Structure 1
Amino acid sequence: MKCVAIVDDDPRLRRLIRDELIDEGVEPVVCSDGEELLELLDQRQIDLILLDLMMPRMDGITCLKRLHEQGNVVPVLIVTAFNENNKRSEAKALGARDYILKPDLFEVLPKLLESYL
């Protein structure tokens, strides 16, 4: 079974995404920030990362930088409420494969899973 990491500081949204992933036949794992994700990647195989930008301790851009430095090959999709071109450009330059606005996530999630898993 494919495994998707949900990295977001909002527990309610993590639960909603987790439930949707289960419905899609994917194993979800949850992290509340980038530091937890980096620890998780040392412990288990992850096939896709859904990464928020604004989080405490380690935000999404800092996490992307660390993943980039470590030679990460797991696809990273930014899932954020912020529609800012500079953040989008920075995330793409650091290896993010896509930039999805949170209000659109549940509409596009099945297609994203099909494309990236």
Structure 2
Amino acid sequence: MLITLAIATIGSVGQWSVVIVLPQVQADFGGTRGAASLTYTLTTIGFALGGLITGRLTDRLGIVPAMGIGILFLLLGYLAAGASAALWQFIAAQFVIGLGASSTFAPLRAPNKTVSRP
């Protein structure tokens, strides 16, 4: 139970972290509030797309490899966000963060059941 909580906390922070720093993102990149808010939109789109991909990966490989791939995407996204020199780069990094964050959301909340394969 505690492991699940730790994984969900670390993984799901990717979904919400940009909301906390939105005013700073706007100031650092000199964009409008709408342009800065696009970061959260792309994070959410990445999260939705990542959920579909994670579901497929979980069915084929299992939950641990799927979450491992998602955590790699989180790592790459946060590194890219930190190295961003332009707002569009930061937005692209947030999309990758959304992809990664999705891997720790649904699989940990789905009922535990055994899948029989023919």
TM over 0.5: no
The structure richer in strand per residue is: 1
Larger Rg belongs to: 2
* TM-score, normalization by structure 2: 0.28
